[in-house]
Structure 1
Amino acid sequence: KSTGDGIHAAFAEAGQALAAMLQLQQALADAAAAGGLPLAVRCGLHAGTSQARDRDYFGPEVNRAARIMAAAHGGQMLVSQAVADQLASQLPAGVTLRDLGAVRLKDLPRPERLWQVVAPPLRSEFPALRSLQATPHNLSAPLNRFIGREAVQAELAALLQQHRLVTLLGTGGIGKSRLSVQLGATLLDRFADGVWLVELASVADPDRVPQAVAAALGLREQPGQALADALRAFVADRQLLLILDNCEHLLAGAAALAKALLQAGPQLRLLATSREVLRVAGELAYPVPALTLPALPRDGRPAPAPDELLQHEAVRMFADRAASALPAFRIDADNAAALVEICHRLDGIPLALELAAARVRTLPLPAIAERLRRSFQLLSTRDATVAPRQRTLQVLIDWSHDLLGPDERRLFRRLAVFAGGWTVDAAEAVCADDTALPADAVLDGLSQLVEKSLVITVPGAGADGHRYRLLETVRLYAAVRLADVDESAEAAVHDRHLAFYGGLAEAARAHLGGPDQAAWLARLDAERDNLLAAQAHAAQSPDGAEPGLRLAGALRTYWINRGLPTLGLAGQRGALAHPAAQAGDLARARGLFHAGQLCICLGRHAEAREDLEACVAIVRALGEAAPMAAALQPLGTVYAALGDAARARGCFEEAVAAERRLGRPRQLAAALVALALWFAQQQQADAAEPLYLEALALAREQGDDDAVATTLLNLAMLAMARGQWQAAVPGLLEALALTQRAGSLPLMLSVFDLACSLAVARQDWAHATLWRQAAEVVCQRTGLHREAADAAFLAPWLGLLRAAPPALQTATDDPDPQALLSHLQQWLGALPAQPPGLNQNR
């Protein structure tokens, strides 16, 4: 049959299909050689079972064949593993199969291993396949098959060509999110710069929409530039599709950002999902329809036959999910009428169908229909102003909730406090208590909730291989149930959530800078939404001042490492603003200390001075020597940045003396480095060097990899300032190894900066350009601000690089800093004993 500009053909055997494909390609090649129109036709073969209906074929294997064809380039011939297996012993002479590996194809849940048919003299060399890997995106592989809505997708694809903002509207559970991701995967080849999904369900503050979009795009904050401005600059010349998912609770923030990005990016397309329109000029609102339904049997007539029922999307959805829950499930004459009734009572809502289908493990279809019938009759006599689809979903979850035992219900509603999912240990710590729900009952309860399709398992995402989450509509339902219990009981669950994630943040802080830093950073990444939720509860709770300040302080290093100092500072300011955090006590002093440190990272030195001076005033009045010593070092850094060298030196020297008295080697090392850096800025290298060496010895004794690497880099800069380029290499190599192990982005920036300077000194302009580009990418991704001393050291080297012949400055398109670390290690290891180049002291 014709498929637009293509043809879909069916064959009884794989050998027949291959012969037809080869004959077609040879005929086209012969016609082109004879002076005819050169046509490059792509072909794909797949073997499987399909449904024959109305002189046509339907089913997932037909769709897979189309996706295989779509992955090919013009003139290329692809076959699936199923076809390759059948052709193994019957390939024509001279024809071979080339293994192209497993490839992710649009909207298919699992990768498909593809083979290319090679048949000389036909063309055999082609670019990479047109797969999901070929276009940048962040779309996850679906966990189950997408059912139906082909016409909806085609209509939306056309609308996105005509309109720059399309909003999918509908009630919770209607399938807006899944449809948007499916459509994005289908349209990947239309957007050269990719399709990017921004999940907003766990974002609580409209002002944080830009951070969520930046995180999805891989952008980081930069000093002196608002994140919204960075986003506008990013989309200005890119052709991409941005999917803003679950906007309804963030309408103001989502609308403002959508408007700004559309104005900045003429090639940008936005696809939003929401329960309300964004009210942005040019927006096209598209109500997402329910899945198509079969007609209800009337006048005692039997239900249609199974094959006829399967023409309707709701039936196919239910049958597919029911077969996943109970592989033996089949539609037959005995259950067909009940299935039609279920689909109608659930109004074709995908989420409702999925939850109902999961019940086939324990109930036959007529029993499911009967329970839904009773529940709906009760609800229909009450709040008739609620939309039918909302009533349907509400009743379905009500029913699922009513089937739970007392402990399962208690666990279910307490899980509502989690944002973005949770692990087993988190659930045990937060949801259990000493009386109503013991900790050893939580894992069994979770398993039951997973079985009953109320909790979703995310494989491979937790320390034990699993992470759990609630669908957002289900989580909101659970939150209402939690609010219905005693107010003190609800507060207790939130308090335990705050205590657990506060403890996690403090445990992580103790490991950041050490050999297992990368693993702890990844763990905090997974829990970022929960950490923010815990901070929000602390800010609102009457007893949240002290734990809120502790949590915000514990996260400071994490926010800096991940290039989110503005987000960290907002949390710190929120904790400091708590009514119970206004006393001049040690907790407030520590909060001011952390706020000042974050301001330094953002280059906001005047603001940092206010925080740190206030901190010092409090701890001096309290007579707290340790916090005083800790605060003096960053305060000195601020004074140095503001040009007050004398006060800076005074702070550094007082900090060193205090740390010696206190006997804290880790903190003494940091203070020594700060004082040494001050001497280096004053061109007093001989005074700086012994301080660096003492700090290095202390850092090694403490096993503080971050401090070791930082001190080594400072010593390398000192050697280069003396004109001793060779002496800088060993320290840079060791610092590079520590950076690779720890995954520290601030260290990575310093390593590339120093490597750039070394390459300039050697007049290796190509590598100097490469290392400079890598450093700038790190800056863009982290928002880190170079300290004044680092910027001053780097400036003359960059001046020499800019003055080099342009032809020698070989730029690289979008370098990957992480991948370049190995190349940098090889380059450093190959340097000659006596570097050539600039031999004057600087």
Structure 2
Amino acid sequence: MPAQGQGVLPGGPAVPSGQVTFVFTDIEGSTRLAHLLGNRYQALLVAHRRLLRAHLTRHGVELFTEGDSLFLAFTDARAAVAGCLAAQRALAAAAWPPGARPRVRMGLHTGYAEPTAGEYASPEVHRAARVASAAHGGQILCSAATVREAGGLPPTVDVRDLGLHRLRGFDGRTRLLQLSGDGVAHEFPRPRTSGVVRHNLPAAVTPFVGRERDRVELRDLLGAHRLVTVVGAPGVGKTRLAVRVAQAQTERFADGVWYVDLAALGPARVADAVAAGLGVRWDADMGPPAAAVELAGAHDVLLVLDNSEVAPTETAQVAQRILAGCGGVRLLVVGRRPLGVPGECVWRAAPLKCDPGPGGEVSEAAALLLRRAEAARGGQPVAPADLPVLQEVAARLEGLPLALELAAARLRCVPVPDLPAELPTLLAAAPGEAGARSAAADRAASLAASVEWSYQLLAPRAARLLRTLSVFAGPVTAAAIRWVVQDDPSADLAALVDASLVETLPDAGGVRYRLLGPVRAYAGRRLAALGEVALARGRHARWVARELARLHVAADGRPATWALSEIDPLRAEVEDALAWTVTAGDPWQGLHLVRALGSWWIERGATAAARAWLGRLYGRLGGPDRLTGAVPASRAPLVTELFLLHSRFAAASADLPVQAVFAARARRVAAVVDDPALSLRVDARAPLDGSEEGLRALLARAAALRLSGHVLAAVSALARLLWRRGAWGELTALLHEARPVEASRPACRGRRSVDAWLGFVALARDEPAVAHRHLTAALRGQVAFGYDLAACDTVAGLAACRAAAGDVLTAARLFGAADANRTARHARADELALFFAQREEGVRAGGDAAFDAAYAHGATWSLGEAADVALALPRPEVPDTPRYRPSPDPAMLPHR
């Protein structure tokens, strides 16, 4: 406001001219104070003026007083600053009526001004007034010009840069600073400037879901590093996460948070966009990076650079110049690869978590899909019965936010139960029609287009490696990749990781690599389009066979205990290799793979799948009848083993006619092979005489040939016959004879069948303490080596031990767990199942309601959870008699 009214006080000092520091003061909330105090307000006003004048007119000239406002001019900017600080201290220390302390705001600005007749007609006066109006009560604000004019202020004066602000009536932005010190408040809300824009971040169209830990990590990294680059796979949600984090930083950065989307710019315009984001100007002869450094060095800014992969070189150059010359600027860069400049902190964005919470809450990925699904259905809630379907979809899409968004969009036209069937086409979704949208919009609209954009930026060798990696179904080691590509992939693999097309996963042995679903789908299509499938798939199938063979050999070269649990991580790789061999690959290679898994198919309840694979492979070789009658001699042992295995698969499914057919085929093919061990294995698995006498004769023949290890199946068959007639003594003797034979067979000893049978016999003889000892030994081995179906029977046996000890509820839980896990693995009923059913009925007699509740609880346990409970149980307390006294523990069996 222009000086007017009283003008220069008579007899006062001369009005300053030239570089003048103007000070405006007024009371915040003066109207409230006037209403509160009534007639006493005038006394407060006079006292407040007296305190201000005592400190401000010592070196300044009072030009104007009106109500609660004062306007002064100073020749010395340092004196003006000191006077304002002293005045604020005096106001804070003075005694005022309760609830009526005057909170005075002060504004200072320095500029050139010449008085006319004791008054100023200069825009600098108006600027000073606007600075004061931006302050809060108790706060001192000044322009950067005042701080410069004051020179080096004493260390007791705290100067805080509040950033650039638009002052009403003035073009451009003015830097405001806060002055404080001992006895002067320093914490205030942001200045009251009109039209302040502290960021230009894009507004979110949909609610943000999850990633709490990621947001905290990124926030902390921004506090510790000046350049943080968020990289990640296409569709992983990098931009959305970075913008969300940046939105939470607007109060932290005095000059704001500014977003630049480099995808809409050419490489030559990167520097222009960055300088504009910093709010700087430059002369025509200055390059934008130089201008940013020269003019924005003191800025307190967070600059978000999105889609840096559009112009990686130019973005890296600009980032380096900013880091070197703009100490107050921090960079949050979003792209698919790091910039590779000194000082860069690279943070890799992972997909949303697909695992449910500890309390059973839906996963982050499922929560996002749920929220978007409700929006796509017009706000209609998702039925509880549909939640498992959404969880399945979220897991199959691997938590990729873009994929989840696209899946939710499908729910506008398909019901939730049908959504899983839509996923194959979703992963291959193509961009919009040519010309219908911009390239940047296409990249965000389709997973295929988003991946293609990254693929086009790859060097030829890296692109070829990406295509080859599509044959792997899951995470694999660098050694596996090297074996399949038959070359050193290190440099190209690093390039793919940097481009966020390959994910790295920590592993006990180092690092594993994998492709996310959309990337793998795209790379697989490129592999087919370029005619590289046969070579890559053939090598992959041979690698799978090699990995399965390696499981039979220990580190020292000796045969290793066959651990089915070590096959589980290879399951997806095996299935992909089989899918190749039943269509275009080598069917004999596929048969080798089915045979290599052996008992794994049965223990995992996957015999139906195994029979389907075998049927398709037989078909490619002319069918099982042709294989039976015209198999090459070199292939006869393999075909014999496969027919035996097929017979076992049929038996596991209670398909007795098919079991008999393939047993006969196995005998016919084995007859043309001069291999006594193979002949014994066939007779043990498919005996022509399955009576006790016939089986004993077979065992004797094998012993005479020193080939007893090949007829353990006959031991099991004879054990079942002896069990049925209750010949406990004979059965125990048979098992003790078989113990060393089983221990000598790496392919059998992990199942611990002898220990399990000894435990079952002890239960049948009412010897729970002995049973507990044998069964816990068996269960430890079965769990360690992955014999799931056998472990189900053993858990049921330990449940019977608890029932004998009177622990009815634990017994019921373990029975429930054993039955549920047997059912999940499609186990057929046998002698043991009937035995355990009878024991369950004995426990149920103690009370149906209690048993049912405990049984239902146990039925929710995984096999691992049930085994943990069973192995932690104490040995049953039984009478101390010779009958119940335990015998020595069996020797530990060797294992891998």
Q: Which TM-score band applies after superposition, normalised by the shorter structure?
A: 0.5 to 0.7
Contact 2:482–2:489, Cα closer than 8 Å, also in 1:
yes
Which one scores higher on RCO, CA 8 angstroms, separation ≥ 6? Answer: 1
Separation (CA, whole Å) in 1 of partners of 2:203 and 2:562? 46
Equivalent residue, structure 2, for 1:430: 484
Q: Deviations over 1:51-86 (max 9, x none)?
A: x99989997999999979999xxxxxxx999999xx
Of the three residues 133, 144, 162, the one matched with 2:358 is 133
Give the counterpart of 2:467 among 413, 430, 446. 413
Output the CA distance in 2 between the equivalents of 1:194 and 1:69: 19
| Cα 1:626–1:198 shift into 2, 3 Å | farther
For residue 635 of structure 1, the aligned residue among 671, 686, 692 is 686
String of CA shifts for 1:277-329, please: whole Å, max 9, x gaps. 99xxxxxxxx9999xxxxxxxxxxxxxxxxxxxxxxxxxxxxxxxxxxxxxxx
Shift of 1:738: 2.3
Q: Across the two proteins, how many residue pairs are aligned to each other?
A: 539
Instruction: Tell me if 1:521 matches 2:576.
Output: no
Q: In 2, are the aligned partners of 1:599 and 1:607 still within 8 Å (CA)?
A: yes
User: For the Cα contact (< 8 Å) 1:539–1:575, is it kept in 2?
Assistant: yes
Q: Does 1:452 align with 2:506?
A: no
The yes-or-no answer on 1:734 pairing with 2:812 is no
| 1:710 positional shift | 1.5
2:10 maps to what in 1?
Answer: none
Deviations 1:445-479 (A, max 9, x none): 222232234x3114126853212225535643554
Deviates more, 1:589-598 or 1:662-671: 662-671
1:681-726 CA distance string (max 9 Å, x none): 2322232222100111222345677456221111122223233334
User: Which residue identity lines up with residue 414 of structure 1 in the other structure?
Assistant: T
How far apart are the structure 1 equivalents of 2:867 and 2:370?
A: 45
Separation in 2, partners of 1:802, 1:837: 27
Change in 2 beyond 3 A, CA 1:288/1:625: closer
Report the Cα distance in structure 1 between the residues aligned to 2:751 and 2:570, rounded to whole angstroms: 29
Percent identity over paired residues: 14
Q: Which residue of 1 aligns with 2:334?
A: none
Could you say what the CA RMSD is over the residues aligned between the two structures, in angstroms? 5.4
Question: How far has the Cα of 1:615 moved from its partner?
Answer: 0.6
Q: What residue is the counterpart of 2:391 in the other structure? A: 195
Is 2:457 the partner of 1:400?
yes
Secondary structure of 2:752's counterpart equals helix
Determine whether 1:617 maps to 2:668: yes
Cα offset, 1:554, TM superposition:
0.9
Whether 2:831 is the aligned partner of 1:794: answer no
Amino acid at match of 1:741: A
Instruction: Output the CA distance in 1 between the equivalents of 2:775 and 2:205.
Output: 54
What SS does the corresponding residue of 1:563 show, helix, strand or coil?
A: coil
Asked which structure has the greater CA Rg, the reply is 2
Tell me the secondary structure at the aligned position of residue 534 of structure 1: helix
Report matched runs for 1:24-35 at 5 Å: none
Closer, same or farther: CA 411–276 of 1 in aligned 2, 3 Å: closer
- Report the CA distance between 1:769 and its aligned residue: 1.1
Measure how far apart 1:151 and its partner are: 10
Asked if the contact 1:733/1:825 (under 8 Å) is kept, the reply is yes
Unmatched 5+ stretches in structure 2: 1-135, 137-189, 221-239, 246-354, 885-896
1:763 Cα deviation from its structure 2 partner? 4.7
Deviations 1:651-708 (A, max 9, x none): 6335424532453454344432332332222322232222100111222345677456
Q: Deviations over 1:498-533 (max 9, x none)?
A: 111122223336689998766x625x3333232112
- Are the aligned partners of 1:423 and 1:466 in contact in 2 as well (CA < 8 Å)? yes
- 1:248-287 equivalence runs, <5 A: 273-274=422-423
**What whole-Å deviation, never above 9, does each CA across 1:414-468 have from its counterpart, x for those lacking one?**
3333334543222222222xxxxxx2x2232222232234x31141268532122
Q: Give the whole-Å Cα distance in 1 for the aligned partners of 2:211 and 2:452.
A: 44
Q: Name the CA distance, whole Å, in 2 between partners of 1:511 and 1:245.
A: 47
CA distance in 2, matches of 1:134, 1:60: 35
For 1:458 and 1:141, how far apart are their aligned partners in 2? 23
Question: Is the 1:429–1:500 contact (alpha carbons within 8 Å) kept by the matching residues of 2?
Answer: yes
Partners of 1:201 and 1:191 in 2: how far apart?
15
Q: Hey, what's the Cα distance between the residues in 2 that align with 1:271 and 1:769?
A: 37
**What letter is aligned with 1:134?**
G
Corresponding position of 1:553:
595
> CA, structure 1 residues 500+792, in 2 after alignment: closer, same or farther (shift >3 Å)?
same
- Partners of 1:732 and 1:151 in 2: how far apart? 49
Tell me, what secondary structure is at the counterpart of 1:133?
coil
1:817 is displaced (CA, Å) by 3.9
Distance 1:459-1:157 versus aligned 2 partners, 3 A rule: farther
Say if 1:678 and 1:514 are closer, same or farther in 2 by CA, change over 3 A: farther
Counterparts of residues 704-723 of structure 1 (less than 5 Å): 706=749, 709-723=752-766
Aligned runs of 1:318-467 on 2, under 5 Å?
Answer: 344-350=438-444, 396=453, 399-401=456-458, 404-405=459-460, 407-432=461-486, 439=487, 441-453=488-500, 455-460=501-506, 463-467=509-513
Structure 1, residues 528-563: CA drift from partner, whole Å, max 9, x if none? 232112112222347x23222111111232233333
Larger mean CA deviation between 191-200 and 413-422 belongs to 191-200
2:518 paired with 1:472: yes
1:209 maps to which residue? none
Report if the CA contact (8 A) 1:752-1:771 is conserved.
yes
Separation of aligned partners in 1, 2:515 and 2:388:
33
Q: CA shift at 1:154, angstroms?
A: 6.2
Matched, 1:819 2:819: no
CA contact (8 A) 1:696 1:707 kept: no
Q: Is the 8 A contact 2:779 2:795 kept in 1?
A: no
Describe the shift of the 1:778–1:108 C-alpha distance in structure 2 as closer, same or farther (beyond 3 A).
farther
Give yes or no for contact 1:555–1:568 (8 Å, CA) kept in 2: no
- The Cα shift of 1:596 comes to 1.4
Residue pairs, 1:115-154, within 5 angstroms: 132-137=357-362
Partner of 1:226: none
Q: Contact 1:696/1:711 (CA < 8 Å) preserved in 2?
A: yes
Aligned pairs (5 A) from 1:626-705: 626-636=677-687, 647-649=690-692, 652-653=695-696, 655-702=698-745
* TM-score, length basis structure 1: 0.53
CA contact (8 A) 2:561 2:746 kept: no
Contact conserved, 1:656 with 1:668, CA < 8 A, in 2?
A: yes
Aligned to 1:102: none
* Gap change, CA 1:652 and 1:197, over 3 Å in 2: farther
- Are residues 69 and 763 of structure 1, via their aligned partners in 2, closer, same or farther at CA, if it must alter by over 3 Å? same
SS at match of 2:503: strand
Q: Partners of 1:774 and 1:733 in 2: how far apart?
A: 16
Instruction: Give the match's secondary structure for 2:544.
Output: helix
Letter in 1 for 2:518: E
AA matched with 1:583: L
1:798/1:492 CA distance change after superposition, 3 Å = same
Match of 2:847? 805
Q: Deviations over 1:735-780 (max 9, x none)?
A: 2332343343123201122123333444543232122111022224
**1:337-380 superposed Cα distances (whole Å, 9 cap, x missing partner):** xxxx9x9323252388xxxxxxxxxxxxxxxxxxxxxxxxxxxx
Q: Which amino acid aligns with 1:575?
A: L
For residue 774 of structure 1, what is the amino acid of its counterpart?
Answer: A
> Which runs of 5 or more residues in structure 1 are unaligned?
1-11, 13-48, 72-78, 85-106, 113-129, 165-186, 203-215, 217-241, 263-268, 279-286, 291-340, 353-388, 433-438, 640-645
Does the CA-based 8 Å contact 2:372-2:408 persist in structure 1? Answer: no
Q: Compared with structure 1, are the counterparts of its residues 565 and 198 closer, same or farther at alpha carbon in structure 2 (3 Å cutoff)? A: farther
1:355 alignment counterpart: none
1:498 aligns to what SS in structure 2?
helix
Say whether the 8 Å CA contact 2:722–2:728 is kept in structure 1: yes
Tell whether the 8 Å contact from 1:552 to 1:572 is kept in structure 2 after alignment: yes
Please give the secondary structure, in 2, of the residue aligned with 1:723.
Answer: coil
Distance in 2 between residues matched to 1:697 and 1:576, nearest whole Å: 38
